[in-house]
């Protein structure tokens, strides 16, 4: 029953071995996962074990360490197998336990509603517990960032194997992914996971309309495979004596090709997209990786060689959404189009999985999780502390961001040292320094100044939910 899965696990071991990772721990995690999932089946009747092995394989291919690979193998054991956290720690280590715990869902059957939490919804416990699960992921993930990678790999594999479910169930999973998983991946700049997961969502959403487009995309890429392989060989030889140490060519995914087509052809209907149109946009990303030189020097060197020793034509330069670095749009003799990225090997590794540390982690806010993915601006408090708040936020939003009691006691704001008394609906800009002036009772306690019209003055979910909860409590109190 497990012969094919054992064979798949051999791939995980092979990659781990090539990365000089200790196999003993990884093999132990596989045997424990096999033991705990032994009698479990997926919806299609296959052994459940194939799922954690596929998750581990995704992580291994992205060069994660043995703890993360083990976390991938064991990621469902606490949630689905009654494997006690204390036992997992004893059997493995604290790092693996924390990774598995961060991606384990809150048990709805044992879930206790916290009415003080503004995100709790007593009428929709399933929705509320789901939101709490993602808040838990963000909270624990900030301490154990590789937990996010396990979650991304888990979701990616689930989307790839979701066809057995009713289509409405598939769309429900897509909506959940778009609401929480994709914004987290985008915030962390985990380009590989973001694009791969978004591509699976795209194929589910357009399942009944994209058959022709996906067929044409596949035919074009299959027929062009030999040309791409030859181009890789050519570029490696061409740059063999340069600062470029590696050349990789990757397909631009289906969803991104269609996005670019939609910009080129306004109101393009996906069911009518043709191969001729697909040829008009970049279908491949070329990554040229350098070491021991500056980005400028590598760029000058590559441009000089391309212009003088090849028939590749530079069409344009742009800035990458994830890399924030310039890339070239180029074209070959047969009109294939490419995005050419120049990166250090370290930048390429970060580009694939994100930083999983530092600034991007700080941008994750479990209280504002429903707004992840929205553009952020930096705003300073009166004492110079930097806060990240969502674009189009108002002074009142900022007050609630600091603390809900500060929000309720809002009188006015001063911005950038001005003596002007700015009202609650004032929009904030990048770099503003804001002081919130509050009103107090005679005993020194903060006074609640909230008014129903304040709901029109706030743009963040946090502020809206705090206000709504307050006015609902007043309504109940008055009714009694």
User: Residue 117: pLDDT above 70?
Assistant: no
SS (H, E, C) 260-309: HHHHHCCCCCHHHCCHHHHCCCCCEEEEEEECCCCHHHHHHHHHHHHHHH
CATH number for 268: 3.30.460.10
Residues 284 and 398 grouped into a single domain: no
The DSSP code for 92 is S
195: in domain: no
**Cβ pair 340, 286 in contact under 8 A:** yes
**Mean pLDDT confidence for 143-154:** 92
Residues 180 and 241 grouped into a single domain: no
pLDDT for residue 362 = 59
Per-residue pLDDT reduced to its tens digit, 268-289: 899 989 999 999 999 999 999 9
Residues 86 and 217 grouped into a single domain: no
Among residues 201, 193, 157, the alpha carbon closest in space to that of 177 is found at 201
Confidence of residue 339 (pLDDT cuts 50, 70, 90): very high
177: in domain: yes
Residues 84 and 169 grouped into a single domain: yes
353, 385, 401 - which closes a domain: 353
Confidence of residue 25 (pLDDT cuts 50, 70, 90): very high
**Mean pLDDT confidence for 456-466:** 89
Residues 344 and 387 grouped into a single domain: no
CA separation for the pair 143, 365 (Å, rounded): 13
pLDDT for residue 460 = 87
Residues 242 and 304 grouped into a single domain: yes
Among residues 478, 400, 479, the alpha carbon closest in space to that of 446 is found at 400
CA separation for the pair 381, 413 (Å, rounded): 11
pLDDT for residue 114 = 59
For residues 404 and 369, the model is more confident at 404
User: Residue 160: pLDDT above 60?
Assistant: yes
260: in domain: yes
**Cβ pair 464, 470 in contact under 8 A:** no
Residues 257 and 340 grouped into a single domain: yes
**Cβ pair 287, 343 in contact under 8 A:** yes
Tokens, residue 33? 């996962």
364: in domain: no
334: in domain: yes
Q: List residues bridging with 434 in a β-sheet.
A: 415
Q: What is the DSSP string of 137-187?
A: HHHHHHHSTHHHHHHHHHHHHHHHT-TTS-HHHHHHHHHHIIIIIHHHHHH
pLDDT for residue 156 = 98
What value, to the nearest 5°, has the Cα angle with vertex 50 and ends 45 and 53?
A: 170
pLDDT for residue 122 = 55
**Mean pLDDT confidence for 130-157:** 85
292, 321, 353 - which closes a domain: 353
**Mean pLDDT confidence for 120-127:** 52
Residues 220 and 141 grouped into a single domain: no
Among residues 318, 321, 284, 343, the alpha carbon closest in space to that of 191 is found at 321
CATH number for 466: 3.10.20.30
Q: φ, ψ for residue 425 (rounded to 5)?
A: -85, 5
11: in domain: yes
Residues 221 and 103 grouped into a single domain: no
CA separation for the pair 264, 259 (Å, rounded): 9
Tokens, residue 466? 């705090």
Identify the weakest region by mean pLDDT among 69-83, 113-127, 436-450: 113-127
**Cβ pair 91, 75 in contact under 8 A:** no
**Cβ pair 95, 70 in contact under 8 A:** no
End-to-end CA distance of the chain: 63
**What is the spatial order of strands in the sheet that 244-251 belongs to?**
244-251, 284-290, 337-344, 326-331, 313-319
Residues 391 and 276 grouped into a single domain: no
The DSSP code for 99 is H
CA separation for the pair 228, 36 (Å, rounded): 44
200: in domain: no
Residues 326 and 431 grouped into a single domain: no
User: Residue 120: pLDDT above 60?
Assistant: no
User: Residue 74: pLDDT above 80?
Assistant: yes
User: Residue 412: pLDDT above 80?
Assistant: yes
Residues 297 and 379 grouped into a single domain: no
**Cβ pair 198, 184 in contact under 8 A:** no
Q: Count the domains in the chain.
A: 3
pLDDT for residue 136 = 80
What are the distances in angstroms from CA 373 to CA 26, 180, 329? Answer: 34, 9, 27
CA separation for the pair 229, 305 (Å, rounded): 20
pLDDT for residue 145 = 86
User: Residue 111: pLDDT above 70?
Assistant: no
114: in domain: yes
User: Residue 52: pLDDT above 80?
Assistant: yes
Q: Which H or E run includes 27?
A: helix 23-37
User: Residue 330: pLDDT above 80?
Assistant: yes
Instruction: Residue 90: give the domain boundaries.
Output: 3-190
pLDDT for residue 124 = 46
Identify the weakest region by mean pLDDT among 61-65, 141-145, 368-372, 404-408: 368-372
Q: What is the dihedral of CA 146, 152, 154, 158, to 10 degrees?
A: 180
As a residue count, the chain comes to 480
């Amino acid at each position: 029953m497990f012969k094919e899965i054992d064979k798949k696990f051999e791939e995980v071991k092979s990659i781990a071995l090539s990365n000089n990772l200790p196999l003993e721990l990884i093999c132990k995690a596989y045997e424990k996962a096999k033991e705990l999932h032994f009698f479990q089946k997926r919806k299609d009747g296959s052994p459940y074990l194939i799922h954690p092995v596929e998750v581990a394989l995704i992580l291994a291919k992205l060069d994660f360490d043995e703890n993360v690979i083990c976390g991938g193998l064991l990621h469902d054991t606490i949630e689905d197998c009654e494997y006690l956290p204390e036992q997992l720690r004893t059997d493995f280590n604290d790092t693996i336990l924390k990774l598995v715990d961060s991606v384990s869902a809150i048990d709805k059957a044992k879930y206790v509603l916290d009415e003080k939490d503004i995100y709790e919804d007593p009428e929709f416990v399933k929705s509320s517990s789901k939101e709490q699960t993602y808040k838990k992921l963000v909270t624990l993930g900030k301490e154990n960032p590789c937990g996010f990678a396990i979650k991304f790999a888990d979701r990616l594999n689930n989307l790839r194997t979701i066809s057995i479910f009713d289509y409405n169930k598939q769309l429900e999973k897509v909506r959940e992914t778009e609401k929480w998983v994709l914004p987290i991946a985008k915030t962390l700049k985990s380009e590989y996971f973001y694009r791969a997961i978004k591509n699976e969502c795209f194929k589910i959403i357009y399942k009944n309309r994209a058959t022709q487009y996906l067929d044409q995309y596949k035919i074009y890429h299959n027929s062009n495979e030999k040309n791409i392989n030859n181009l890789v060989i050519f570029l490696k030889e061409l740059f063999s004596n340069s600062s470029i140490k590696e050349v990789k060519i990757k397909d631009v995914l289906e969803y991104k090709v269609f996005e670019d087509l939609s910009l080129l052809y306004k109101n393009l209907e996906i069911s009518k997209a043709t191969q001729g149109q697909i040829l008009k946009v970049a279908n491949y990303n070329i990554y040229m990786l350098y070491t021991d030189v500056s980005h400028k020097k590598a760029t000058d060197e590559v441009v000089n060689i391309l212009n003088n020793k090849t028939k590749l034509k530079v069409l344009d330069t742009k800035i990458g959404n994830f890399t924030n670095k310039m890339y070239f749009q180029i074209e070959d003799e047969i009109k294939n189009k490419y995005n050419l990225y120049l990166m250090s090997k370290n930048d390429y590794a970060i580009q694939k999985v994100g930083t999983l540390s530092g600034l991007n982690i700080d941008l994750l806010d479990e209280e504002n999780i429903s707004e992840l993915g929205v553009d952020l601006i930096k705003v300073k408090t009166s004492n110079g502390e930097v806060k990240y708040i969502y674009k189009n936020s108002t002074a009142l939003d900022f007050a609630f961001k600091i603390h809900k009691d500060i929000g309720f006691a809002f009188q006015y704001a001063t911005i950038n040292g001005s003596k002007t008394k700015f009202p609650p609906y004032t929009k904030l800009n990048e770099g503003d320094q804001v002081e919130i002036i509050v009103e107090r009772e005679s005993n020194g306690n903060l006074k609640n100044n909230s008014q129903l019209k304040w709901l029109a003055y706030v743009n963040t979910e946090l502020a809206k939910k705090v206000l709504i909860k307050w006015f609902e409590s007043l309504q109940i109190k008055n009714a009694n």
